[in-house]
Homo-oligomer: A and B are copies of this chain.
Amino acid sequence: MAVLELYLVRHGLAGQAQASRDDRLRPLTRAGVRRTRAVAKRLLALGLRLDGLLSSPLVRARQTADVLHAVGVAPRPKESALLAPGGDFEEFLTWLARWRRRGHARLGLVGHLPDLSTWAGRFLSGEGRPRLVLKKAGVVGLTLPSRGTPLGRSSLFLLVPPRYLL
């Protein structure tokens, strides 16, 4: 298999949570959409082209993924419950091993905290470390080795808050 670059993207700025409304349907704010689009355009200008994009089904994540697709950074996103809050990391690893067999080299994931940070930690140290501060519409870049388990054997090449990308 080839080395895999994994880009973890936190959803953009969304409205306040309200007890009376379903949190899964909470959309990006207008400013959230604008900022997410600016970040995506900058990533495009920097040459980023993803071979695949997996998104949490929650509206604020799916909208973020749609923006990445719309500006040309990624193909049409696929929704996956694995990326919803509390998604199963072991199942994701199984999915990922299958996906990599097709020869893909760059995958984007759009999801939530704390899972994205915990998952990154699993790749980097095998445990939930280190603590990564990931802002909304922020991006983490990991390189997974070409063979063997990626757990504790991946490296971090990017952790960038959105304001560095505006």
Taking Cβ atoms with an 8 Å cutoff, the residues of A that contact B are 46, 124-125, 129-133, 143, 152, 154-161, 163-165
Contacts and interface: CB of A to CB of B under 8 A. Distances in A.
Contacts of A154: 130-131
9 contacts: A124-B129, A124-B130, A125-B125, A125-B130, A130-B155, A133-B143, A133-B155, A133-B157, A156-B156
A165 B156 CA distance: 18
A132 B155 contact: yes
Instruction: State the copy count for this chain.
Output: 2
A132 B157 CA distance: 6
Q: Which 9 A-B pairs have the closest CB atoms?
A: A124-B130, A131-B155, A133-B157, A159-B159, A125-B129, A132-B156, A133-B155, A125-B130, A160-B160
Nearest to A133: B157
A156 B133 contact: yes
Contacts of A158: 159-161, 164
